[in-house]
Structure formats: structure tokens, C-alpha cells
Amino acid sequence: MQDKINEIEKSIDEAVKDVQSSKTLQEIKMRFLGKTGEISSLMKNMRDVPPEQRPSMGKLLNALREWTEERFDAIEKRIKDFELKKKYKEEKIDVTLPGRVTEDGAYHPNTLIRNELISVFAGMGFEIFEGPEIENDYYNFTALNTPADHPARDMQDTFYLSNDLLLRTQTSAGQIRVMENKKPPIKILSPGKVYRSDDDATHSPMFSQMEGLVVDKGITLCDLKGMLDEFARKIFGANVKTRLRPSYFPFTEPSVEVDVSCFECGGKGCRLCKGTGWIEVLGAGMVNRHVLEGCDIDPDEYTGFAFGMGIERIAMLKYGINNMKLLFEGDVRFLKQFKGER
Ligand code: PHE
């Protein structure tokens, strides 16, 4: 028996010699101390030992088991310590390391102006309507009192996609879509991209407009003027005034060109206003009765006004941008300057 015990002790020493992890140690431990382990089976064999030898054998076996348990406990403690230290080392965080900096973005000047316009007009009760960028001839021209061969078509160099389809040249096309579907009172604001074959420092083949349309009983040019005054004060400054100059658009009658007093020099005349004291900002007018009729709105009962402005133009004026291309090139050095603007 003593031989057997020595043998087991030896094989335990052998087995635990190179253990590195508590998992393998646990497996080895089961091999000896588990229910069907070597020591446990020796204990089970006690049944076959003659009764007079049992006490001394029992003592030996108990001693072996205690020895084995202590041995495993000691190794386990050593391994646990080692594993813990290793974990600490691996998970150590260097709190002195500087954080990663993510640079703040900036709103594009177009977005800034569009949001500002929306907020000003939403404050006056306008709702947003967005029409399609691909329009047909009817919405972009004919329904806007600009039939085929009308000379006013030459005011806008159009990109045609087919005989009938085109890239809309003006957000005014949305006026018709709204009036066909909704009866007065109407008060909508329609932002969006428009396209014209036109390209220089102040024109781009793609640009953005903001259209407004108000139709109700008793709407007059005075309402338009009052609303434009409010718009000019909010966008360009509290002291800015507006003036209307006669103009021509087929879908408004009368039509006006709207100027604001120069917010740079206060009207005295400077480079921005080219010495005139006034800056042209948008086109507007009273909705032509033919346009109302075409949308089944009785022009003897209802009147309305419409206005349309170029968002890039407002952005260029407001931020002192001298070339429209800057608004489309996406140059970060340019865009960075709008950081923090809301
Ligand atoms: N659609 C016109 C343009 O693009 C602007 C405009 C809108 C004029 C509404 C009058 C009324 O030039």
C-alpha cells in the first residue's frame, strides 16, 4: 500500500510540475480527488481490506488525501496570484494618455441660410412643401402662365431631359402642385434645388431657391411688403428696409424686384451695394389670375402673393462670399470658417 501511495504522490508531483492555468490544475485535481479519481477509488477499495488492517490503512489514505489537497491548494493559490497579476498588467489603462480629438463639423452656409429662412417664415405660420427636382413642362412653365414659345422661357436656360421632362428651373413649379391639391387659405414655403444652364462667379448650373406662396381672401401687395420687411429685419438686421421695383414674371401681376437697404453701409453707398445703397435680394408679385384659374381657384374671390429667392445669393451677401463656386466645392478651409454658426 505504501508503495501505491508513494507512486500516487510521485505522479501528482509529475502532473503539476508545469501547470500554468487554474483550468488545467482543476483537471489534474479531478484525476486524483474527483469521485472516480485515483485516491477516491483507493478509498472505495477499503471494503476489500481485512478488518484488522483497516484502521492503519485508513490513516494512511486520509493522510494522503490531506497531503494532496494541501498540495493542490498551494499550487492553486500561486496560479491565481499569477493570473491576477497578468490580468492587471494586460488591462492597465494609461490615464495620462491624451484623449483622441474629433474635430467639430460646421453647417454649410447654404444650410445655415435655409434653416434661418425656414425659422423666420415658420414663425409667420408658413408650412414647408418640397416638390420634385425633375418636373414636367406643365408645372415648370405652362401652368405658370408661360406657354411654349413665350419669350419669358428665355429668361431661364433650361436643361431638358426629354420633350416634356426637365430639371426644374424654379421652385415656383411647386406653387402649382400646392394649389392643385389644397384650397385657400394657403401659406407655404418651398425650399429646393433648381437648375439652369448658367455658369459664372455669381451663377451656378445648380443652385437653391426658397419659394413662398400665400393665397387667401383679401391678400394685397401691402401684405407682401409687410412680410418682406419682417424677413429683411430678421435676416439682415433690425434697421434694414425694403423697396419694391417694378419687374416682370409671367406668373405674377404686378411683379416686383425686391431690394433691401445695404446692411453694410446703411444705405450710404459702398462696394457691396455698388454705391447704390440698395441690394437686390428676390423676385415677387401678386399671383397672376390666370395661374389661380388654372388651379381652380376663383381669382375674384381669392388673391395671393408669391416670392422666390436664391439661397446662395443670400448666403453670399450675408457672409461676404465673392464667388458662388466656393459654395459647391466643399473645400474644408472655406467651410471651417462657419464653425459655431447655427
Ligand atoms: N421664380 C422666379 C425666378 O426664379 C422668382 C419668383 C418667384 C418671382 C415667385 C415671383 C414670384 O426668378
SS (H, E, C) 127-164: EECCCCCEEEHHHHCHHHCCCCCCHHHHHCCCCECCCC
pLDDT interval class at 40 (50, 70, 90): confident
Q: Rank 52-56, 58-62, 261-265 by mean pLDDT and report only the highest.
A: 261-265
pLDDT interval class at 209 (50, 70, 90): very high
177 φ/ψ angles, rounded to the nearest 5 degrees: -60, -40
Residue with CA at minimum distance from ligand 1 atom 6? 308
The three cell numbers of residue 117 are 429662412
Residue with CA at minimum distance from ligand 1 atom 7? 308
What percentage of the chain exceeds 90 in pLDDT? 61
Residue 329 has pLDDT above 90, yes or no: yes
Neighbouring CB atoms inside 10 A of 104's CB total 8
207 in ligand 1 pocket by Cβ < 6 Å?
no
- Rounded to whole angstroms, what are the CA distances from 325 to 102, 112, 206, 335? 28, 17, 11, 12
308 in ligand 1 pocket by Cβ < 6 Å?
yes
Average pLDDT on 7-25 reads 84
Amino acid at 222: C
The three cell numbers of residue 308 are 422666390
181 φ/ψ angles, rounded to the nearest 5 degrees: -105, -15
Give the separation between CA 285 and CA 221, rounded to whole angstroms.
7
Look at residue 14 in the predicted model and tell me its pLDDT.
Answer: 85
State whether the Cα torsion 116-121-123-125 is positive or negative. negative
Look at residue 119 in the predicted model and tell me its pLDDT.
Answer: 96
Give the separation between CA 274 and CA 264, rounded to whole angstroms.
11
Neighbouring CB atoms inside 10 A of 166's CB total 21
252 in ligand 1 pocket by Cβ < 6 Å?
yes
C-beta of residue 174 within 8 angstroms of C-beta of residue 192: yes
C-beta of residue 120 within 8 angstroms of C-beta of residue 149: no
Average pLDDT on 131-158 reads 91
Placement of cell 408650412 in the chain: 127
- Residue 181 DSSP SS3: helix
The three cell numbers of residue 26 are 482543476
Contacts of 50 (CB under 8 A, 6+ apart): none
Average pLDDT on 256-263 reads 95
170 in ligand 1 pocket by Cβ < 6 Å?
yes
212 in ligand 1 pocket by Cβ < 6 Å?
no
Look at residue 235 in the predicted model and tell me its pLDDT.
Answer: 94
131 in ligand 1 pocket by Cβ < 6 Å?
no
Residue 316 has pLDDT above 80, yes or no: yes
CA of 145 to the centre of ligand 1 (A): 12
Average pLDDT on 266-277 reads 92
310 in ligand 1 pocket by Cβ < 6 Å?
no
Look at residue 8 in the predicted model and tell me its pLDDT.
Answer: 82
Of 121, 172, 257, 312, the one to substitute when testing ligand 1's pocket (max ligand atoms within 8 A of C-beta) is 172
Torsion of CA 315, 317, 318, 319, to 10 degrees: 80
Look at residue 323 in the predicted model and tell me its pLDDT.
Answer: 92
283 in ligand 1 pocket by Cβ < 6 Å?
yes
Look at residue 166 in the predicted model and tell me its pLDDT.
Answer: 95
* Closest ligand 1 atom, residue 194 Cα: 4
Average pLDDT on 191-218 reads 94
Residue 156 has pLDDT above 90, yes or no: no
Residue 200 has pLDDT above 80, yes or no: yes
Q: Bigger pLDDT: 197 or 54?
A: 197
pLDDT interval class at 217 (50, 70, 90): very high
* Closest ligand 1 atom, residue 284 Cα: 10
The three cell numbers of residue 157 are 436656360
- Rounded to whole angstroms, what are the CA distances from 32 to 18, 39, 42? 17, 5, 10
Q: What per-residue string of b and e applies to 226-246 under the rule 16 or more CB within 10 Å gives b?
A: ebbeebbbbbbeeebebebee
Q: Name which of 6-10, 115-119, 263-267 the model is least confident about.
A: 6-10
* Closest ligand 1 atom, residue 283 Cα: 8
Give the separation between CA 94 and CA 79, rounded to whole angstroms.
26
pLDDT interval class at 313 (50, 70, 90): very high
285 in ligand 1 pocket by Cβ < 6 Å?
yes
Average pLDDT on 335-339 reads 93
Give the separation between CA 191 and CA 172, rounded to whole angstroms.
10
Pairing mode of beta strands 186-195, 127-128: parallel
169, burial (CB in 10 Å: exposed 0-12, middle 13-18, buried 19+): buried
Contacts of 294 (CB under 8 A, 6+ apart): 143, 145, 176
CA of 237 to the centre of ligand 1 (A): 24
CA of 306 to the centre of ligand 1 (A): 8
Residue with CA at minimum distance from ligand 1 atom 9? 307
CA of 322 to the centre of ligand 1 (A): 23
Q: Name which of 85-89, 112-116, 174-178, 287-291 the model is least confident about.
A: 85-89
CA of 164 to the centre of ligand 1 (A): 21
140 in ligand 1 pocket by Cβ < 6 Å?
no
Look at residue 67 in the predicted model and tell me its pLDDT.
Answer: 85
Look at residue 20 in the predicted model and tell me its pLDDT.
Answer: 83
Pairing mode of beta strands 242-249, 165-167: unpaired
Residue 1 has pLDDT above 80, yes or no: no
Whether the predicted model's global pTM rises above the 0.85 cut: no
Computed over every residue of the chain, the mean pLDDT equals 92
